[in-house]
A and B are shown apart, each in its own frame.
Chain A
């Protein structure tokens, strides 16, 4: 389809600029959406994608530029305005009200009424049920959102956004927490939306996904638009080059062979969400854990780390039986756990970056109850430098750092605590490519020095590229352990999803 014969764009953002406190985040960015297209928006973290979409959704005001909807100037001062204009948005972070039901969340802000001020709960319930069924989401409309898994919450989020969208849908990493089959359902829905003539703006870090859905692509770097074109006019290497402004020759650094000694051994671990799990993790080894969301991988890692200790089974560290009833005990035995939930269980938002880094290792930096502040600050600064954590100073509150830098700070926390065995849960989730490469290199160095890593990941290329062996979990059980060098994405998926396909 040539540009001349194209219909008018449904949405046209031109010359959008925005700065936060003197920091230019967007500079004269143009972005247009045509009816019936999926337009990928990519860029590293901090490139301005989310800000651009927040401006479109009225969450934050723009400094300059214009937004036109079907040719008419559009005033968007709040998310409500955006909804009325038929623009729906699926956010990265959850925006559901936990204590309300699925139906109440879906109808939030446009509840059906019996009379002014009186809600029609029955209709809300039946509307929501119809909507969920239409999209094939197996979620009861009456369930409390707080009872749902992360993947299910994301599906509710999507259903809610679609209910309000008549012209434009913005999806900000909609599949980040979804299993493969759930993701595939989303891709089918995107296909439907396209066929109905809606325009979809799609933000994602996963190249494989973009190849499946995108018609066109716009690449942002440092708040500027550096490329717009048909998706098939550019290859992955080209996209990455535009995103980072330099070449990343090898994303995965290559791992040295593991040593003989076993660092961590699990024997017959039983917990709420996993059964009879046994494995050995050697020094110098990265053992990947594959599986669908809800397969029990996170529960297993939290169990080993003593957060919710397993009901049965034993854990051996360096060949010796280890009783680990709490995180404190786990840390004392040299374990470290990088949570998948950075905001919930990782970062202390009001505390200084340096104090975030040192939090799990203060026992070594204190005499009795008294802290050795000088030595602590020195070691934290050293790690900040080594991990290339970008912050204004070591005293900047960690809540103000970007997601990638927060993730590096959490890794630094376990290096500070001198953990020898790391349990990493989705270590590169929501992290841009440049930072990902840095994290991989760090993991390589860590195992090269004799550390051991258990890595849970839903990113198959990452599992293949950064593990020695891959253990596959399905419904709480370990169903296979595969040498990464001999494995394929298809085989892992088949093992992970056997009874669902």
Chain B
């Protein structure tokens, strides 16, 4: 009973928040506002999808914000050079995957804790981005590139929403229906038991970080499309919001837990909180206090539940 309660707590909180905001502000329940919430949270949510798998495996990736910058710049440079948008997206996703694979390799083969390994690559990837661009944004991009973030399908459905749903479906499928997903939970829950069960922990760990990097690459392109420039500083500080979304959505930094739908809920809770604060005229300073408190509350509840299992 309590397990079910804990599991659906994020969903219940999201619905409650939604109802409160609907009552609190007449502008909240308008198509324009809701679609802007989606557009603002898409990048974080797609990144959080990759992070969900990493965190389920007991890891962490602090470099995702830098990967957004690096992949965004890679992709936009191709577009600026006249290549088609689709090719640029593929290139950005590939670049992200390479970054992720390097993170995974550092964490496994060099035996550095992932927190430290990705703290290092956070600096490396950002520095490379600044080096490549000389610190200048990549500009003069075609208008149809911007449609990646600002366009709509059938007049109403924001294009980024399609990407978000597709990514979430992919990650949930991986977690539930593939060996990679199952082994992620196993490695996160008890790495030694995973080894004793014959799981090849090192290559699977690299695969997990690679998947995360690839999805972050996609997010990097959507972020650049939103700005219609390749900003070398794009994504700075996003890692903390991404981790927060996963944790609020039921992931645990100790590994073994987390789902794609939970993470969507976590990201939406954060998105609605800041949107609601704006609508209700609450200062951005107070917003930070509120979001920080929500993170602490979510982790506290998680710890409470954990203590009953271990």
Task: List residues of A whose CB falls within 8 A of some B CB.
Answer: 21, 305, 307, 326-328, 330-332, 337, 339, 344-351, 355, 359-360, 362, 366, 369-371, 373, 397, 399-400, 413, 417
Most buried by A among B176, B182, B193: B193
Known contacts A348-B185, A351-B256: does B310 contact A360 (CB below 8 Å)? no
Interface locus among B47-55, B132-140, B197-205: B197-205
Report A-chain residues with C-beta under 8 Å of the C-beta of B178. 369-371
Is B309 in contact with A349, judged by CB distance below 8 angstroms?
yes
Known contacts A350-B189, A355-B182: does B177 contact A345 (CB below 8 Å)? no
Q: A359 vs B184: C-alpha distance in the bound complex, in angstroms?
A: 12
Q: A7 vs B279: C-alpha distance in the bound complex, in angstroms?
A: 76
Report B-chain residues with C-beta under 8 Å of the C-beta of A305. 196
Report A-chain residues with C-beta under 8 Å of the C-beta of B185. 348, 350-351, 355
Is B200 in contact with A328, judged by CB distance below 8 angstroms?
yes
Known contacts A330-B198, A339-B196: does B190 contact A347 (CB below 8 Å)? yes
B244-277 contact mask (Cβ, 8 Å, vs A): 1 or 0? 0000000010011100000000000000000000
Q: How far is the CB of A205 from chain B (nearest CB, A)?
A: 23
Report A-chain residues with C-beta under 8 Å of the C-beta of B197. 327, 331, 359-360, 413
Known contacts A350-B257, A371-B179: does B198 contact A360 (CB below 8 Å)? yes
Most buried by B among A346, A349, A350: A350
Q: A346 vs B200: C-alpha distance in the bound complex, in angstroms?
A: 16
CB closest chain-A residue, reference B200? A328
Report A-chain residues with C-beta under 8 Å of the C-beta of B182. 355, 359, 362, 371
- Assess whether B159 is interfacial by the CB under 8 Å rule: no
Could you list some 18 contacts between A and B, CB below 8 A? A326-B200, A327-B195, A327-B196, A327-B198, A345-B196, A346-B190, A346-B193, A347-B190, A349-B310, A350-B252, A350-B256, A351-B189, A355-B186, A359-B193, A362-B179, A370-B178, A397-B309, A400-B309
Q: A145 vs B255: C-alpha distance in the bound complex, in angstroms?
A: 26
Task: List residues of B whose CB falls within 8 A of some A CB.
Answer: 2, 176-180, 182, 185-186, 188-190, 192-200, 252, 255-257, 306, 308-310
Report B-chain residues with C-beta under 8 Å of the C-beta of A330. 198
B180, B190, B199: the one contacting A349 at CB < 8 Å is: B190
Q: How far is the CB of A485 from chain B (nearest CB, A)?
A: 33
Known contacts A371-B177, A371-B182, A400-B308: does B196 contact A348 (CB below 8 Å)? no
Q: How far is the CB of A190 from chain B (nearest CB, A)?
A: 31
Most buried by A among B178, B197, B257: B197
Is A348 in contact with B192, judged by CB distance below 8 angstroms?
no
Q: A355 vs B190: C-alpha distance in the bound complex, in angstroms?
A: 13
Q: A490 vs B276: C-alpha distance in the bound complex, in angstroms?
A: 77
Is B310 in contact with A399, judged by CB distance below 8 angstroms?
yes
Is B256 in contact with A348, judged by CB distance below 8 angstroms?
yes
B188, B194, B255, B309: the one contacting A399 at CB < 8 Å is: B309
Known contacts A348-B256, A351-B189: does B179 contact A369 (CB below 8 Å)? yes
Is A350 in contact with B195, judged by CB distance below 8 angstroms?
no
Report A-chain residues with C-beta under 8 Å of the C-beta of B252. 350
11 additional A-B pairs beyond A350-B256, A370-B177, beta carbons within 8 Å, are: A331-B197, A332-B198, A339-B196, A347-B190, A351-B189, A355-B182, A359-B199, A366-B179, A370-B179, A371-B178, A373-B177
